[in-house]
Amino acid sequence: MPTHIRSTPQRATDIGLDQPWIVILFNDDYHAFDDVVAQVQKATGCGHAEAFHITYAAHINGQAVAYIGAKRACERVASILCQIELRVEIEAA
């Protein structure tokens, strides 16, 4: 896993690959807003308006849920967000 991804520790019996997981995107002061929007689109496959909303929520609130899905899908999304060194976490929903 890239170093910018942090998963919440879980006991082995608590980990369910099919249960919902979330990718949390944290505010970023280093990238242009439009670059983050584009990376959210690339990572999640959502449209521009939804990516803008996610990025804006992270900017205003300090963090936002960028994606909800199976653990492996969340790991894929998080790794794409980390390609430009955005800070994310993956947590069980």
**Predicted confidence (pLDDT) per residue in 45-86, tens digit:** 999 999 999 999 999 999 999 999 999 999 999 999 999 999
Residue ranges covered by each domain of the chain: 32-87
- Entry pTM: 0.81
How far out from the chain centre does Cα 47 lie? 15
49-61 exposure pattern, b = at least 16 Cβ within 10 A, e = fewer: eebbebbebbbee
